[in-house]
Structure 1
Amino acid sequence: MLTGVVTIAAGVSPVKAIFMTLAMFAGAAQVSVAQLMAEHSSAIIIVATAIMINLRFIMYSASITPYLGTVSLWQRLFLSYTLSDQAYAVSIVEFNKPDSPFLRAPFFAGACTSLYFTWMFATLCGIFFGALIPPSWSFDFAVPLTFLALLVPNITDRSTALAAFIAALVALLTVSLPYNMGLMLGAVSGIAAGYFSERKKHHD
């Protein structure tokens, strides 16, 4: 809902907001694109920002693919389009359980599909009814809460804890950079910290 509200508040028409939601299916990127459009940024900057914010989905795909086994081309296309932070998080936690009773590909498809339709419905509600939400509800605080809920179950050892800490520290220190560059620097720094920590652990 917050994504729909912010998109309309940035001056994007409802028709364009609906198209953005269907085409992008990425809340953080949609909010950033809407804000850049409101600031009359160039098309190159807008597209580059959206791509940089969504680069994390490459990491998600590389991480989740080994668990899915053999899937057809149309299934891969569907799962790549509906992949989200939430669907990835709940799936990777489940797949790492040694006694999980679920078939992995159907579980992941179910997570992706249920989140997709929920997201679309909630965003449309924000687009058309967002003006009715009282500002005192502070919906903007729901975004960091959501990502914290995704983050905590995946901090399972020293490497993941270090990655989370470094990513958060760098993102906070660089929050004033334009075009959400601080977010990207934080992500890259966290990945690097976790990678080198994991390598050091295996060498010890």
Structure 2
Amino acid sequence: MAVRLTRAEQVERNRELVLDAARRVFLDQGYVGARLEAIAEEAGFSKGVVYSQFAGKADLFLALLERRIAERAELNARVAAEHAGIEGLRALLVANTRREAEDGWARLLIEFRVAAARAPEVNARYAALHTRTLERFSEAIAAILARGGLVPVHPAPVLAGLVMTLASGRVLEIAAGTTPVDVEVVVDLLSRLVEPA
């Protein structure tokens, strides 16, 4: 006998199906190229169902970004719990670089960031989420360094911002087909920005 979902469960299930479909379509077609019609079709719904869950394409992308931030923070916290010091920082950077290379999300996020910069309300929502990302990433960095008896020369959020800036640059260099800065070079540079506690 099939179990009947409550209205709230059905709404949540539909939301998850739309989010999963949106992720696939965005990664395949890019942010600018993705259309809500294609996302609805991929999810097996009408466009009306998508609009019943999300205000538009930017709202849908930002919901995906929120999910991604939570997933990344959880993975980074695991790395931080298992590693310490400069070697821990290396492990964190390698794990993040591997994730960026695996799924194409980093390149998609850069595309979204450029589009969002032209829409003040969307950009403000993105900036709030990015601030959360920086906070969580800086917490992971600070924990790794502290467990190794180190502190950053600059505040951990500055170090986290530098890492993220370098990561975005790496993604763009790879997209252009040029040689990106190697992770070991980044680790070497960052190791010069820490000192004993």
Tell me the TM-score normalised to structure 2 length.
0.28
> Which structure has the larger Rg over C-alpha atoms?
2
Q: Under a length normalisation based on structure 1, what TM-score does the superposition of the two structures give?
A: 0.28
